């Protein structure tokens, strides 16, 4: 029998309403007390501790290092003191970092000494090379700079290296294909090393590249800023640049052991778990007090505040501080991989807070329903219920009078292994931007400076205690606390998360860049 269209629509809406999980009439008022008790000063105290761990351990808190261990011990002690059941999840990983600082100097046509960490940096999983002087060969460059992000295929094709003499240093440009592919192509063509400079396609692609070639055996490779690349190119887009440089890269690669720190609430259904995660490690080059001392410190403060207020959740809350995220989400991947299927099924939702205090911030929410950034390059498929987590954040920001916007659900932070095929755990979270560039429209809504990166110290030594927006950190920490509390009180055992009826969005609009993907340089996402 053909159904009347009007009746069919009403029936569809009724079914959707019945299928939706029950939501408290006023989610916002229920978290007022928690958010008032949570202070940005408390978050900053934890960040100050992380800074001290970096300062006393060579300036870094990278996974498997003494600086990381100091932070992990600190978090564990604080969580235990607050009454959580705390454990360590150990795993091995391939550590690759500078053993001693690299050097890059131009010898001719003029003598120039470049500065490590300002003009250039060695790439993760780069090979090593002793101090060597050699001629540069330009590989299909777009000069003076690319007309847009990724608007060059430099080094992506074997034909790009035609005529290059063996023993040259290949000078390439960021764009289109992964850095590892460029370096491998150069090595196969006879280059002794690779220099890859930023393409200048927008203001976020001018500074030094802090990239990774990805695990495997690769030739020596440095990433540089656009001005250094232009200087070395000497106006030549293909062929000999007439420049010679001295390069030295000294990397260490070894298997190390590190740990994720796990703290579980004493109360809550152990068969219905909400994971609240953040990575605790930094890149080898710096202390990572924003990336990701901001999310790690916020989660620790939320955990302490929940305990101090004697809040008993319906679902068990499992805070996890992941290690080795900066080497490719290794901590979260190891955690998910080591969980038996029965234990995975107990996790009903995952919240991820990675970089939530960027100095030039935007209030980005992961696009869990893929409505702003459809599935494709740079976006992952959010499992059912991820859109509901997105709604919780956007509705919160709207209720307190703050705009919010979507960022791609790319899988490029520690929620990635949770939403992966075969796991399918609903996830969501917050992000305030990395090396992406704030647009004029965003500056009009959120303040800050248009045309500048959200975090100018992303993956650099200057990511320290002062590399922060206090307002942004305060606003995002409150939102994180709200979502944590709200999900902890849902009856997720009987009513699993489902996406809302219709697309979810914030009030601050969207941008094509979405804030710059975290660990964007694992592959060149041009």
Q: Could you report the per-residue pLDDT of 41-98, keeping only the tens digit for each?
A: 999 999 999 999 999 999 999 999 999 999 999 999 999 999 999 999 999 999 999 9
CATH number at residue 170: 3.50.30.30
Query: Residue 9 pLDDT more than 90?
Result: no
SS3 readout for 170-204: EEEECCCCCHHHHHHHHHHCCCCEEEEECCCCCHH
The tally of domains found in the chain comes to: 2
The closest alpha carbon to 233, from 169, 175, 182, 303, belongs to 169
- Note whether 410 and 427 are within 8 A (CB): no
Helix (H) or strand (E) run with residue 5 in it: helix 5-19
* Domain hosting residue 207, numbered range: 101-251
Q: Are residues 293 and 381 in the same domain?
A: yes
Structure tokens at 136: 């540069």
pLDDT band at 115 (very low <50, low <70, confident <90, very high): very high
Rounded to 10 deg, the angle between the 470-489 and 386-399 helix axes is 130
pLDDT band at 378 (very low <50, low <70, confident <90, very high): low
Query: Residue 345 pLDDT more than 60?
Result: yes
Whether residue 315 lies inside any domain: the answer is yes
pLDDT confidence of residue 508: 87
Q: What mean pLDDT comes out for the span 377-382?
A: 74
State percent of the chain over pLDDT 90.
82
Whether residue 6 lies inside any domain: the answer is no
The closest alpha carbon to 484, from 46, 35, 84, belongs to 35
Whether residue 12 lies inside any domain: the answer is no
List, in sequence order, the alpha helices (H) in 380-464.
386-399, 416-419, 440-446
Residue with tokens 């995002």: 476
Query: Residue 293 pLDDT more than 70?
Result: yes
Q: Are residues 199 and 296 in the same domain?
A: no
pLDDT confidence of residue 216: 86
Whether residue 451 lies inside any domain: the answer is yes
* Summary mean pLDDT of the chain: 91
Q: What mean pLDDT comes out for the span 311-331?
A: 96
CATH number at residue 415: 3.40.630.10
Q: Are residues 214 and 67 in the same domain?
A: no
Q: Are residues 48 and 153 in the same domain?
A: no
pLDDT confidence of residue 149: 87
Q: Are residues 350 and 497 in the same domain?
A: yes
Q: Could you report the per-residue pLDDT of 405-437, keeping only the tens digit for each?
A: 999 998 989 999 999 988 999 999 999 999 888
Q: Are residues 399 and 492 in the same domain?
A: yes
Q: Are residues 274 and 359 in the same domain?
A: yes
Domain final residue pick, 220, 251, 282: 251
pLDDT confidence of residue 2: 31
Beta pairing class for 169-173 and 193-197: parallel
Active site residues: 325
Q: Are residues 392 and 451 in the same domain?
A: yes
pLDDT band at 347 (very low <50, low <70, confident <90, very high): very high
Helix (H) or strand (E) run with residue 334 in it: helix 330-338
Q: Are residues 128 and 70 in the same domain?
A: no
Provide the 3-class DSSP secondary structure of residue 515: coil
Q: Could you report the per-residue pLDDT of 455-493, keeping only the tens digit for each?
A: 999 998 999 999 999 999 999 999 999 999 999 999 999
Q: Are residues 283 and 202 in the same domain?
A: no
Domain final residue pick, 222, 251, 280: 251
Domain final residue pick, 251, 279, 309: 251
Whether residue 486 lies inside any domain: the answer is yes
pLDDT confidence of residue 525: 35
Whether residue 94 lies inside any domain: the answer is no
Whether residue 90 lies inside any domain: the answer is no
Q: What mean pLDDT comes out for the span 233-254?
A: 96
3-state helix, strand, coil in the chain (%, to 5): 30, 25, 45
Whether residue 466 lies inside any domain: the answer is yes
Q: Could you report the per-residue pLDDT of 123-173, keeping only the tens digit for each?
A: 999 999 999 999 999 999 999 999 988 899 999 999 999 999 999 999 999
Separation in Å, CA 489 to CA 113, 115, 155, 257? 58, 52, 53, 36
Query: Residue 509 pLDDT more than 90?
Result: no
Rounded to 10 deg, the angle between the 470-489 and 293-308 helix axes is 50
Residue 276 CA to residue 321 CA, distance in Å, equals 9
Q: Are residues 245 and 275 in the same domain?
A: no
Q: Are residues 368 and 440 in the same domain?
A: yes
């Amino acid at each position: 029998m053909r159904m009347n269209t009007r009746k069919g629509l009403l029936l569809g809406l009724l079914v959707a309403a019945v299928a939706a999980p029950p939501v408290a009439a006023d989610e916002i008022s229920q978290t007022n007390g928690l958010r008032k008790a949570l202070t940005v000063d408390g978050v900053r105290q934890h960040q100050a501790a992380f800074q001290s761990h970096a300062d006393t351990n060579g300036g870094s808190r990278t996974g498997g290092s003494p600086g990381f261990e100091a932070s992990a011990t600190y978090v564990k002690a604080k969580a235990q003191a607050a009454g959580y059941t705390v454990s360590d999840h150990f795993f091995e990983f391939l550590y690759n970092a500078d053993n001693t600082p690299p050097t890059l100097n131009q010898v001719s046509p003029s003598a120039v000494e470049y500065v490590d960490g300002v003009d250039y940096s060695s790439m993760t999983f780069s090979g090593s090379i002793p101090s060597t002087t050699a001629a540069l060969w330009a590989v299909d460059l777009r000069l003076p700079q690319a007309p847009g992000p990724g608007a060059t295929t430099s080094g992506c094709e074997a034909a790009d290296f035609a005529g290059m003499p063996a023993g040259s240093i290949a000078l390439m440009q960021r764009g289109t294909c992964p850095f590892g592919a460029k370096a491998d192509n150069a090595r196969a063509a006879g280059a002794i090393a690779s220099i890859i400079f930023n393409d200048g396609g927008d203001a976020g692609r001018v500074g030094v590249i802090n990239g990774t070639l990805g695990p495997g055996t690769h030739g020596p490779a440095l990433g540089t800023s656009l001005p250094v690349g232009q200087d070395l190119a000497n106006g030549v887009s293909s062929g000999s640049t007439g420049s010679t440089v001295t390069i030295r890269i000294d990397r260490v690669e070894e298997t190390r052991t590190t740990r994720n720190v796990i703290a579980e609430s004493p109360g809550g259904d152990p068969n219905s778990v909400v994971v609240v995660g953040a990575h605790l490690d930094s890149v080898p080059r710096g202390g990572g007090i924003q990336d990701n001392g901001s999310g790690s410190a916020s989660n620790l403060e939320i955990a302490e505040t929940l305990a101090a207020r004697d809040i008993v959740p319906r679902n068990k809350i499992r805070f996890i501080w992941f290690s080795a995220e900066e080497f490719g989400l290794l901590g979260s991947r190891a955690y998910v991989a080591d969980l038996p299927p029965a234990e995975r099924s107990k996790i009903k939702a995952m919240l991820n807070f990675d970089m939530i205090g960027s100095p030039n911030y935007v209030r980005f929410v992961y696009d869990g329903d893929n409505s702003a950034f459809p599935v494709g390059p740079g976006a992952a498929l959010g499992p059912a219920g991820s859109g509901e987590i997105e709604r919780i954040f956007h509705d919160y920001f709207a209720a307190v009078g703050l705009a919010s916007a979507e960022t791609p659900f790319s899988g490029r932070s520690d929620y990635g292994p949770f939403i992966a095929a075969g796991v399918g755990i609903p996830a969501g979270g917050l992000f305030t931007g990395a090396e992406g560039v704030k647009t004029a429209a965003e500056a009009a809504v959120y303040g800050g400076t248009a045309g500048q990166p959200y975090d100018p110290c992303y993956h650099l030594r200057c990511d320290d205690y002062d590399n922060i927006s206090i307002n942004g950190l305060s606003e995002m920490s409150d939102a994180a606390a709200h979502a944590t509390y709200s999900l902890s009180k849902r009856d997720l055992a009987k009513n699993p998360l489902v996406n809302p009826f219709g697309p979810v969005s914030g009030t601050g609009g969207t941008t094509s860049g979405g804030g710059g993907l975290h660990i964007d340089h694992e592959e060149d996402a041009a």
